[in-house]
Every structure is written in C-alpha cells, then in structure tokens.
Amino acid sequence: GDSVTQMEGPVTLSEEAFLTINCTYTATGYPSLFWYVQYPGEGLQLLLKATKADDKGSNKGFEATYRKETTSFHLEKGSVQVSDSAVYFCALLTSGTYKYIFGTGTRLKVLA
C-alpha cells in the first residue's frame, strides 16, 4: 500500500544553518505531496504542497520539489530560526482517495 518514509530525528541545528529533511514515498498513481508542521500543543498546519511532478512548493522560506524519478519530496530551508523548532510531517494524498498518508514525523530543534 501507499507509504511515506521520513528521516528519523531529532534534527538539531544552530540558528541560520541549512535544513534538509528527507522524505520518500511509495504510491500507486500520481499522488499530491504535502509538508505539515506541528508546534508544541497544537494541531498540524499546512506548510507547503505540490500536486504534480517537478512542482516546487514553497512557504515561509521552506521549499520542496516533487521528484517523481526518485519518489522524493525533501524539505529544505536556507537559514533556520529558533521559531522553526517543531515536528515536520511529510504526507501524500493519492488521487481518488480522501485520506492522507503521513510519515512518522521529524522533530527539528534549532538552537540560538
């Protein structure tokens, strides 16, 4: 069945460091791909999305490119801030279904 695999955390970075969180997927058809972020004590917030191959989603300095050839959707940010500390979830939605498949999440901790 469909699945999402994320790199295990926690990821600890210094402020202004470059961030990469790896995400790969297995899916039938052509899924839409998403990154959600969860701050402590809160629900999930949509960070960015891409609906077809080679699309680049971007928001708040974060970017991810839908790579069909490598079935990947890695999250990147050029310069992280302490306020980016959170858990990041990669997710897919297969065409014709109404349910997200989430990865297990990657905790990011940014130190001042």
Partner 1 sequence: DAGVTQSPTHLIKTRGQQVTLRCSPKSGHDTVSWYQQALGQGPQFIFQYYEEEERQRGNFPDRFSGHQFPNYSSELNVNALLLGDSALYLCASSLRLVTEYGYTFGSGTRLTVV
Residues in contact with partner 1 by CB under 8 A are: 4, 32, 34, 36, 41-46, 49, 51, 89, 91, 93, 97-105
Q: CB of 4: closest distance to partner 1 in angstroms?
A: 8
Q: CB of 6: closest distance to partner 1 in angstroms?
A: 8
How buried is 10 (Cβ within 10 angstroms: 0-12 exposed, 13-18 middle, 19+ buried)? exposed
Q: CB of 44: closest distance to partner 1 in angstroms?
A: 4
Q: CB of 102: closest distance to partner 1 in angstroms?
A: 3
CA separation, residue 73 to residues 34, 40, 68 (Å):
8, 24, 9
Instruction: Match 């949509």 to its residue by tokens.
Output: 46
Q: Which is nearer to partner 1, 17 or 85 (CB)?
A: 85
Q: Which is nearer to partner 1, 53 or 78 (CB)?
A: 53
Amino acid in the structure at residue 47: L
Q: Which is nearer to partner 1, 34 or 73 (CB)?
A: 34
> Are 66 and 20 within 8 A, CB to CB?
no
Q: Which is nearer to partner 1, 3 or 81 (CB)?
A: 3
Report the 10 Å Cβ neighbour count for 94.
18
